[in-house]
Amino acid sequence: MSRENNWDWGMHNPSGCGISSLMSLKRKLFRGNLVVRSLDNMVERGNGLGAGYAGYGIYPEHEEQYAFHLMYENIDARNFTEEYLSRFFKIFDDEPIPTRPMPGIRTAPIFHRYFVLPTEEALGTNISEHAADEFVVRHVTEINSSQKGAFVVSSGKNMGVFKGVGFPADIGGFFRLDEYQGYCWIGHSRFPTNTPGWWGGAHPFTMLDTAIVHNGEISSYGINRRYIEMFGYRCTMMTDSEAIAYLFDFLHRKQRLPLELIPAIFSSQFWQNIDLMDEENKKLHETLRQVYGAALLNGPFAIVVGHRQGMFGLSDRVKLRPMIAARKDDVLYIASEEAGIREICPQPDTVWMPRAGEMVAGFYEEAGK
C-alpha cells in the first residue's frame, strides 16, 4: 500500500491518542457502536488522522476459518492478491466489507474480506493448528511486504479489524459497526507524532488473533524491530505500535510464555527493584531481562491487547500514559479516561487506576479459540 497517497491530509501533530475497550468474560454480545460512543466521548484525544476497532466474536458462522480483512489501493492490486491467495488458501466465502458514506471520510481504499483455510496441498502433512497459524503468518507477512497496493488489515479467527483515517465516529459509521455484535471490542483514536496518518497506519495492529492499540511513543523501536525481525517478522508500517503486536505474538504464541510474564518483559522492573526481590523472583526477573531484554518497551506507553483468551491492558513502568479500568458484572473495561467508560457504563461496580507496569487482564470463561 502506497504511503504517498495524500491520505494523511498533510497534518503532523503532537501525541495524544485515546484507547477504549470492553470484553465480556461470559462472551455476551455487544454492538460495535458501544465502543464507538466511548471513544467519541474522548474525541479531543485524537485529531482525525486515524481511528480503528477490533471486534471479537463477530463472525460466528465462520469461526473455524481465518477472516482476512484486506485493504487495496486499486483493482489491479486486488486481482493480483486474490490470485496469490487462491494458490495457497481455500476461500470459503468472500465479499466487500460493507461501508456507508460519511461526511468526514474524504477518500478510502477498497476493502474486501475472505474466509479461508490453508489448502492441504500447501500445508503438507503437518495439519496442526500451530502449523496453520505459522502458514498464515508467513503469507500475511509476504502480502504486506511484497504485494504492491495491498495490505492485510487482520487475519484472525472470528475477529476483524476496521480502521482508517478519520475521527472515531467517522470510522465507526463508515464501517457500519452498529451492525456487528461481538463479545470483545477494542478501539483507538489517533494523534500521530512521528508517522503519517494513513489508512493502514491507524490502530489496531494485528497478527492472527492478536490486536493491539497503543498510546505513547516507543523509543526502543529500533532495537525492538531488529529483534523481532530476527524471527521472520517484517515491520512495514513505519510505526512502533506494529512491533508491539509482533512481539506479543512471538512471546505468547511462539515462545509459549504465560501471559502473566509479559509485564516482566514489556514493562520490566528497574534493576534496583529486582535486587530487592526474594531469591526466586529475583532469578526469574533477571532471566527474563537477560533472555528477552531486546523486547523491553522503553518510553511512555499504554496498550490494550485483544487475544484468543481475552484482553489485557498494560502501561509503562513509570506510567507516563493514562489508563483506567472498571468492572460491571462480568464485563471488563479499560480506557484512557474514566469518562470514556462511564459514557457506556454509567454505574460500574468498581473503578480503579492500575499502577505503573501492572497488567489488567480478563479471560473468557472456558476460554476457547
How many contiguous H segments (helices) and E segments (strands) does the chain have? Answer: 11, 18
Bridge partners for 157 per DSSP:
66
d(CA 38, CA 349): 18
Q: What are the grid coordinates assigned to 71, written together?
A: 485493504
Sign (positive/negative) of CA torsion 345, 335, 164, 30? negative
d(CA 143, CA 82): 11
User: Which among 360, 356, 18 is positioned nearest to 186, based on CA atoms?
Assistant: 18
SS3 content of the chain, % helix, strand, coil (to 5): 35, 25, 40
User: Which among 221, 219, 215 is positioned nearest to 246, based on CA atoms?
Assistant: 221
129 Cβ contact partners less than 8 Å away, ≥ 6 residues apart: none
d(CA 307, CA 305): 6
Maximum Cα–Cα distance for the chain, whole Å?
Answer: 61
d(CA 309, CA 247): 17
Kind plus residue range of the DSSP H or E element containing 88: helix 75-88
DSSP 4-71: -SSTTTT-------EEEEEEETT---EETHHHHHHHHTTGGG--SS-EEEEEES--GGGTTSEEEEEE
Catalytic (active-site) positions: 17
DSSP 267-295: TPPPHHHHTTS-HHHHHHHHHHHHHHGGG
CB distance 323 to 336 below 8 Å: yes
State which amino acid sits at residue 315: S
